Structure formats: C-alpha cells, structure tokens
Amino acid sequence: MQQLARKIVQRLEVNASSQVWIALTNPDLDAAVRSILQVSGAKVVEPESEDCNGAVLEVDSIDAALVPEALIEQMARVEAGARVVVVVHEAKVSPSLEAYAERQGRRMGLVGCSGLAAGDELVIRGERRARPRGAQLRELRGLGHSVDPSVLVGRGGLTDEVMAAAETALKRHGLVKVKLTPQCNLEKGEAARALAWGTGGDLVQRIGKTALLWRRDVPLDPPGKQSGRR
C-alpha cells in the first residue's frame, strides 16, 4: 500500500504550493497518500477550494462502454488544468499501456495522459481538460448546423456497439451528431452526457434528441449534409 501511495504522489509532482483533493475509498491508501503529501509540504483540501490544483481519484474499472457515474461526478468538481491521478483497480490493458492510458484518460476528461503499472493497479495521470467556451463554442455550434447525424441510438440504448460507432465517427470526423430515435427511451440530457464521456469527447450542444460531440485532438472533417457519408 505504501509503495502505491508513493507512486501516486510521484505522479502528482507535488511541491509546497500544491493543494490536493483526495477521494479514495480505501482507508489505508488514503492515509498513506495523506501522510506522504504532508511530508512533501503539499496541502490536502476540499475540491471547492479556489486553490485546489490536484486530485487523486479511483475507479474499479474504466473498460465498460459507459464511464462510471461516480467518476463523472467527481471529475465535474475538478477545475480545468488541475493535475489528476486516477487509480484503476481492474484494467484490461490493450494494445499497450501508453495507448490504454491515453484513451481511457481522455474518456475520464483528461489530456496529456500517461500510465504506470503499480502491482495489480494502474495509475493514470493527466490534466483536467478544459471545455470549449466563448468563440470556440460558437464556432463549433455553427459548424454543427451543416452536420447530419451519423450515429443513431435505437431501442437498445447506449450499447457497446453504439458507443463504439460513436467513438469511431468522432475519431474520424472530430465533430459528429448522434441522435436518439423515437424508439429510444433514454432521458435526452443524460444520454447526451453519457455519449460525450464514453467517446472521450465534449458535448458542445444538445437540441432535443440530437447531441453534437467534439474531439479537440482530431482535425475537423464533419460529415456534412452533402457528403453522402454516414
């Protein structure tokens, strides 16, 4: 436990000005991380603190098509640019540790991700991704006017196949629309949020049952109305 705690703090790269939020359920690991942070001069704070610039979170697994709701709620409390370390207890690493950490880190709302094996656990480190705002958000929404839905969500809901199709489309085009069909009984807002997190994208707009998703690391080539691509 002490070894895992040391690796967590090392990945945080703390100093005397670091103020870290810790959300660990294992009391022994929590205590060990807090002790090492104290020795390093870093301060443990609540996420609402204005000066919070780091976070330590954990998740049982991130391999399912949908990102765990508890992790989404925790990430929503982390400010953009904060350094985040996530302990993953069960990870199906493929095709490589680097690729796994990059993809799963992105699905957790992080950028600049790297991974480190720590016994049976995996430690993923990254910085909390900033959401599009202002002129950038207006530009993306403007581009979205000429985009047709390329993925449809039917009666089965957000299945593994649907999520994989949405992620593939987003990786190809950078900006895509996903639409809930009349047969889909999911709540519109919750489905749009789940789609954004599960694909590693940002939700830039939702109109009715249609969500506009964006990935900042993919060159924009949206499937326009006249392209004939689906």
pLDDT, position 50: 84
Q: How far apart are CA 204 and CA 138, in angstroms?
A: 9
Residue 227 has a pLDDT of 41
Percent of the chain with pLDDT over 90: 93
Q: Where in the chain is the domain with CATH 3.30.110.60?
A: 134-214
State how far the Cα of 72 lies from the Cα of 75, in Å rounded to an integer: 5
Q: Which CA distances in Å does 221 have to 137, 140, 147, 171?
A: 17, 12, 10, 10
Confidence of residue 20 (pLDDT cuts 50, 70, 90): very high
pLDDT at 225 (0 to 100): 60
Domain with CATH 3.40.50.150 in the chain: 2-128
Top-level class of domain 134-214: alpha beta
| Residue-averaged pLDDT of the chain | 94
Question: In angstroms, how far is the first alpha carbon of the chain from the final one?
Answer: 49
* 92 backbone dihedrals φ, ψ, rounded to 5°: -95, 80
Rounded-to-integer distance, Cα 135 and Cα 200, Å = 22
Confidence of residue 48 (pLDDT cuts 50, 70, 90): confident
- Phi/psi class of residue 210: alpha, beta or left (left: φ > 0; alpha: ψ in -120 to 50)? beta
Report how far apart, in Å, the C-alpha atoms of 121 and of each of 83, 90, 135 are: 19, 7, 41
CA 92, 74, 33, 12 torsion: positive or negative?
positive
Residue 226 confidence (pLDDT) above 70: no
pLDDT at residue 228 tops 90? no
* Other CB atoms within 10 Å distance of the CB of residue 76: 11
Q: Is the peptide bond before 47 cis (omega within 30 degrees of 0)?
A: no
Question: How does pLDDT run across 65-109, given as a tens digit for each residue?
Answer: 999 999 999 999 999 999 999 999 999 999 999 999 999 999 999
- pLDDT recorded at residue 223: 84
- State in words which class domain 2-128 has: alpha beta
Rounded to whole angstroms, the Cα distance separating 135 from 186 reads 31
**pLDDT tops 50 at residue 229:** no
**pLDDT over 80 at 215, yes or no:** yes
pLDDT in tens, 108-159: 999 999 999 998 999 999 999 999 999 999 999 999 999 999 999 999 999 9
Measured distance CA(171)–CA(205) in Å, rounded: 18
Q: Which of 137, 198, 132, 189 is nearest to 162 (CA)?
A: 198
